């Protein structure tokens, strides 16, 4: 059975800065409600020329976005496997809404800051990867891409964007071992720009205010030039296709089912 579709996304604006907040109590998972809410939020902030910078953060204490709801993934996997679905690079999987939204963030003329206020793994960290800046609040919580522990791979751009931050060798190490990091470790490893004390949103707002007073065309051109090496769309298509290929494998379905039945953690299902 899939989990409840309860994820909500809210937007507040002030002083040319939009703050997009994610909530899905109690665990803070991403689900289809979160995806739809993100689409609506981006529609709003991208259409408003008065918004000069955008911050993404969690509305729940200690959680940015925990990761994609594995109950939903297991249900999708079983449905695809029951239909005998086979996935091949020769037939790339179409780009879903979440992936389109990540590309919107990457290619937007506005700067986006991920204010990571708590656990950010899997799809949650992949969303942060799509942002221009990542700040993490100091604390005892995990950041990273542990999908291999479920027999799958980071399927929302993680295998393509992480190497741009930390290099190919370290990205291979982190993804192949499913390693996650405490915030200060994530800063040292390059997964986030900085680990900051106190409420991370305060630091993100301070940075956003400095950006918001700059000429928007200058921000847009700088972002376009620096982010010119954005992930290859064909490589992203290959990633999501191979992700689906893993989802229908018996081993992955068994690992997801075990995690869901025992209530264990994605880092140790």
**CATH number of 207's domain:** 3.90.226.10
Binned at pLDDT 50, 70 and 90, residue 218 comes out as very high
The reply to whether 3 falls in a domain is no
The reply to whether 268 falls in a domain is no
For the chain, give the mean pLDDT.
93
Among the listed residues 35, 74, 106, 126, the single catalytic one is 126
* Domain of 256, in residue numbers: 8-262
Q: What is the mean pLDDT of residues 172-191?
A: 97
Contacts of 63 (CB under 8 A, 6+ apart): 27, 28, 117, 118, 119
The reply to whether 257 falls in a domain is yes
CA-closest candidate to residue 12, choices 201, 182, 188: 201
The reply to whether 168 falls in a domain is yes
The reply to whether 90 falls in a domain is yes
Contacts of 4 (CB under 8 A, 6+ apart): 31
The reply to whether 92 falls in a domain is yes
Q: What is the mean pLDDT of residues 229-249?
A: 88
The reply to whether 267 falls in a domain is no
Among the listed residues 46, 147, 173, 251, the single catalytic one is 147
The answer to whether residue 27 is catalytic is no
The answer to whether residue 206 is catalytic is no
Q: What is the mean pLDDT of residues 59-65?
A: 96
- Name the pTM for this structure: 0.93
The reply to whether 234 falls in a domain is yes
Binned at pLDDT 50, 70 and 90, residue 229 comes out as low
pLDDT tens track for 86-130: 999 999 999 999 999 999 999 999 999 999 999 999 999 999 999
CA distance 135 to 38: 20
Q: Does the structure show a pLDDT above 80 at 207?
A: yes
Number of domains into which the chain is organized = 1
């Amino acid at each position: 059975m899939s989990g409840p579709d309860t994820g909500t996304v809210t937007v507040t604006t002030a002083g040319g800065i939009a703050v997009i907040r994610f909530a899905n109590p109690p665990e803070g998972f991403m689900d289809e409600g979160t995806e739809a809410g993100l689409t609506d939020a981006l529609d709003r902030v991208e259409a408003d020329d008065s918004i000069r910078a955008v911050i993404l953060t969690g509305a729940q204490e200690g959680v940015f976005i925990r990761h994609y709801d594995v109950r939903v993934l297991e249900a999708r996997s079983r449905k695809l496997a029951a239909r005998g679905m086979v996935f091949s690079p020769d037939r790339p999987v179409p780009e879903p809404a979440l992936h389109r939204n990540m590309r919107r963030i990457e290619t937007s003329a506005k700067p986006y800051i991920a204010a990571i206020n708590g656990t950010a793994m899997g799809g949650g960290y992949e969303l942060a990867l799509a942002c221009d800046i990542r700040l993490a609040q100091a604390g005892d919580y995990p950041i990273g891409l542990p999908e291999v522990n479920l027999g799958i791979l980071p399927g929302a751009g993680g295998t393509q964007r992480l190497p741009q931050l930390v290099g190919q060798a370290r990205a291979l190490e982190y993804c192949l071992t499913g390693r996650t990091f405490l915030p200060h470790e994530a800063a040292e490893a390059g997964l986030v720009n900085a680990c900051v004390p106190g409420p991370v949103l305060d630091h993100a707002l301070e940075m956003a205010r400095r950006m918001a007073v700059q000429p928007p065309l200058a921000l847009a051109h700088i972002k376009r030039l620096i982010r010119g090496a954005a992930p290859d769309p064909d490589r992203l298509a290959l990633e999501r296709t191979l992700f689906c290929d893993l989802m229908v494998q018996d081993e992955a379905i068994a690992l997801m089912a075990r995690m869901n039945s025992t209530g264990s953690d994605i880092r140790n299902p």
